[in-house]
A and B are shown apart, each in its own frame.
Chain A
């Protein structure tokens, strides 16, 4: 199993949306994910980092190894210190948005990854996404 180096990236400009999703894709390649999963992960990261930038005023993105009892995978944490998400269930519904610009990003990201967990309060929002690698037979 390939060890993944923890990568911490800042989210402060539009270029960071690109950087974060590129790094996420690189990590997925390192871990041995297929092209479809690489694209799913990079797309989800693109959505979430853009949200953190626009609604949360920036923050940071952490890419790391995920080793749970039976599965290997990748975990990406996207944090911002913005106003937070008042109603998480509602935010995950299609087409819902506090402003007109988005509303598809969060539910779309949720459909692309295996796990999407939101932890939000005013002043700090942390979204964790996980993708599991199919365990290879020895």
Chain B
């Protein structure tokens, strides 16, 4: 009996064919995902990535024990896989789509191995076990990288959201409006106070309208942050009108004995704007009455 090929030799010899099958499997296995893949990246890009990884893996599989990811031969393949997984995560692929990239190599290789090693069941079993182990490990690398990258993306996004979500809008000469949307925690409250004060000074606004219509929950902590914002604004010499306090919030605040009596507050933004304008000696009147 002639000596059977190893997986590495098989990959080397039939690389082009394996690559085609692999790409087909990626296409069929992911189903709807494949169509998404088409949207997110071109076929050519996918091919380049797959080709690169196949090359690196062919080298890696040449190691004596090719189930050891820490082996130096595996480093280029692992690096490349990390790179690919990270870019998938950033491009918006979901975890299944990302993992299936390397997982589908398993079924592609399997087809060739079954065909090539069909004479020797023992050899086929051995190689299949090893191949399973290594592809699973590679899949784990993929997933780990994916998770880390997603986390980075989320951190970046929440930071930019934090900055975006505290706009200061000039309502009139000397009046600014800051609509607050979302949960107010301590880091965000610092951001809010900093933006508000900067806005007040930039626009030289005597009055700032702080609208909390978009703040889902009002409790002692949030109220304290708001009081700090008002105090800091007053420190600079600007008055703050707090608007958008819901009926629920008003009840909660009183039940929690939060004292907002030192602040100018109103339920509707409309009334707050009216009050803000009256502080700077302006008023909105109807055209008819004015004439």
Binding site for B on A (CB under 8 A): 36, 137-138
Contact = CB atoms under 8 A, between A and B. Distances in A.
B152 A138 contact: yes
A138 B82 CA distance: 15
Interface of B: 152, 155-156, 159, 190, 194
Contacts of B155: 137
A135 to B, nearest CB: 9
A15 to B, nearest CB: 28
Contacts of A138: 152
B190 A36 contact: yes
Nearest to B151: A137
A138 B194 CA distance: 25
Nearest to B153: A137
B140 to A, nearest CB: 21
B244 to A, nearest CB: 26
A36 B152 contact: no
A137 B149 CA distance: 10
A138 B152 CA distance: 7
B156 A137 contact: yes
Contacts of A36: 190, 194
A137 B148 CA distance: 10
Nearest to B148: A138
5 contacts: A36-B190, A36-B194, A137-B152, A137-B155, A137-B159
Nearest to B190: A36
Nearest to A36: B194
A28 to B, nearest CB: 15
